[in-house]
A and B are shown apart, each in its own frame.
Chain A
Amino acid sequence: MEKFITKENLNRLAAELAATCRVLAPVADCGTVTFRRFQPGMVMDLHSRMAAVSPKAATFPQTETLLVVKREIPEKKPEIIETLPEGKNVVIGCRPCGARGKLIFDPVYETDKIKDPYYLQRRKNTVFISLACDRPETTCFCHSVGSGPADPSGSDVLLTLVGEGYVARSVTPEGEEIMKMALFADAGDKGKEADAKNAKAREMMGEAHDYASAPAKLLARFDDMDFWLAQSAKCISCGACTYMCPTCYCFNITDDDLGLSSQRIRTWDNCMSHTFTLEGSGHNPRSTKAHRLKNRVGHKFSYYPDLHKGVIACCGCGRCIKQCPAGVDIRQIVNAAQEYAE
């Protein structure tokens, strides 16, 4: 389905959906753009720049309660309550790369043997209305990881800015359902204009880099700690790269004691931290930041692709490059491994 929606109507759409769903939308906040729960009256900032954080919180919240355990002290019989997520979510105005992050989660969070019911429930109940990029940034490299600035995969509706509104294209039945709302008008022949804009954006990105040799080349450098020391020299182990990343899916599980009850919660975790793999004996298999950066880059460009049909676990959004306070660039690291002369 192809339709057209004006800028004002997109804001109205957010307000209408917010009546029944949890709507996440990019808003300007303290000099940056971030996803916030949309309330009527709020102004979305869709165009000034890509949101600093990814929209992954819609399907994978930074903190979520997995279980509540009620303890009746006299009887000593605790009762466990599963707290599966309820309600529907809509993300409006994320970029295609942000919507694609969950495609990297999918084969990990649902296998033949194991299903993560919390993730799967949110996944099923979240609709992504993405906006195709018309001005790729210098940190963007989605075109090199099998995607592009107007990639519909991962989205339910894809918007392309045309004049004072957006050409909307449905990608899934859920997206089509939303596009039946009266706020969407006939697209006329604006579709052609949208195609031209999308093609121009892709052209602006230039030639794609070929990562095909990355999995083997990174593995070949595994024991070369001099290489990893050099690559990680600037890193200060802050973890910003992992928290901003739409495809970083690692988590911690901890308990929160509330007296007569407790909660088991899961939170985003950060493999760049020393404690991530620290063992009781004091032994740490990833004792330096060089080991940890090696694992982060290795996981995305080598181990994950080896396990999952060659798919690179990075959607090329460039967030880790932009947000890194030390200027670590994941592209340069993979390139250096690929170009390494044995």
Chain B
Amino acid sequence: MNANPYLPDMATIVEVIQETHNIKTFRIVLNNEQRMKDFTFRPGQVGQLSVFGVGESTFVINSSPTRKDYLQFSVMRVGEVTTRLHQLQPGDQIGVRAPLGNSFPLEDLKGKNIVFVGGGIGMAPLRTLFTYMLDNRKDYKDITLLYGARSPADLTYKAELPEWTSRKDVNTVLTIDNPSEGWEHKVGLIPNVLLEINPKPKNTVAITCGPPIMIKFTLQALKKLGFEDQNIITTLEKRMKCGVGICGRCNIGTKYVCIDGPVFTYAQLKELPSEL
């Protein structure tokens, strides 16, 4: 971050990956070599990407801090900024303000079993932590990844799925909502598949992100499996502008998602006024 919190760093797009019909992944490098070398962040933190003349939007950094060649963001096309981002090509210039927000409690997760439950674009923040854990594999016990999307075409990070599903040191389960020809993995809604996998809550932390409706039923499933509130972690998405706790856009009562979040435990969410 710059001393002027509104001042972005200039960055160059080095690679664009078409993930699904409306999601693209961008790999970027800060133009200032020293700043790129010194750039540090923790899994879960976000950045504001600028397309100058159009505006700025918030996206989670979904590359792991252990892999420093580029910063990666996955962008779903929903409106003005995201549509213009989707038109950009390698070599194009964008602005970045990062890292912003809090992060996953890495220290508390050491020595634990981890269950990731991701839906759709919600896989982005999980990808950061998941790859971080793969790079520090010995620090964690059993790792399960349950990742679901509507159809095979809606899965992001397809290039990495073969590695994730074939690795022996993680249990990766993919699921889609309805049967599809040639699909070799699970069929069923994420919360149902989660119950089927039946992860044991003892010494286990569940980390989930996805569309609001999926989160709702995943939380119910996790409770049914016996997970305690403080062992369920999720990330919130609120409209953000400044990203630094000033503009007043993202509060839930006294908490500001941009500085106190986006990562919260279910126990913390229950303490907040009900305004999600």
Contact = CB atoms under 8 A, between A and B. Distances in A.
Interface of A: 66-67, 69, 71, 76-78, 80, 82, 108-109, 111, 114-118, 219, 222-223, 249-258, 262, 264, 269, 271, 276-281, 283, 285-286, 291, 295, 298-299, 302-303, 306-307
Given A251-B242, A253-B247, 13 more contacts: A71-B53, A76-B91, A77-B93, A78-B52, A109-B246, A114-B245, A222-B274, A253-B55, A255-B50, A279-B237, A280-B76, A291-B275, A303-B253
Nearest to B1: A114
B79 A280 contact: yes
B237 to A, nearest CB: 7
A285 B55 CA distance: 23
Contact of B93 (A78, A258, A269, A295): A78
Interface string B233-261: 00001110110111111011110000000
Contacts of A76: 91-93
Interface of B: 3-8, 10, 50-56, 76, 78-79, 91-93, 95, 211-212, 237-239, 241-242, 244-249, 251-254, 273-276
A78 B54 contact: no
Nearest to A304: B254
Contact of A253 (B54, B211, B212, B241): B241
Contact of B239 (A108, A262, A278, A306): A278
Contacts of A302: 253
A264 B6 contact: yes
11 contacts: A109-B246, A118-B6, A222-B253, A251-B241, A251-B246, A251-B247, A279-B238, A280-B78, A281-B212, A291-B275, A295-B275
Contact of A257 (B50, B53, B93): B53
Contacts of A117: 3-4
Contact of A255 (B53, B79, B276): B53
B6 A253 contact: yes
Contacts of A283: 212
B6 A67 contact: yes
B5 A116 contact: yes
A281 B79 CA distance: 11
Contacts of B8: 80
B245 A306 contact: no
Contact of B249 (A80, A115, A250, A298): A250
Contacts of A251: 241-242, 246-248
B248 A255 contact: no
A255 B92 contact: no
Nearest to A248: B248
Contacts of B247: 250-253, 269
Contacts of A307: 254
A330 B4 CA distance: 35
A251 B4 CA distance: 17
A299 B251 contact: yes
Given A117-B4, A277-B239, A285-B275, A262 B245 contact: no
B160 to A, nearest CB: 25
Contacts of A77: 10, 93
Nearest to B275: A285
B246 A219 contact: no
B9 to A, nearest CB: 9
A111 B6 contact: no
Contacts of A219: 253, 273
B253 A298 contact: yes
A262 B84 CA distance: 15
B91 A249 contact: no
A262 B275 contact: no
A85 to B, nearest CB: 13
B112 to A, nearest CB: 29
Contact of B254 (A71, A285, A306): A306
A115 B93 contact: no
A276 B52 CA distance: 22
A255 B52 contact: yes
A71 B245 contact: no
B92 to A, nearest CB: 7
Contacts of A223: 273-274
Contacts of A280: 76, 78-79
A258 B8 CA distance: 19
B10 A253 contact: no
A295 B55 CA distance: 26
A324 B197 CA distance: 57
Contacts of A80: 7-8, 10, 95
B238 A67 contact: no
Contacts of A252: 241, 247
B75 to A, nearest CB: 12
A114 B5 contact: yes
B248 A249 contact: yes
Nearest to B276: A285
* Interface-centre pick from B5, B92, B245, B246 (highest chain A CB count, 10 A): B246
A291 B212 CA distance: 19
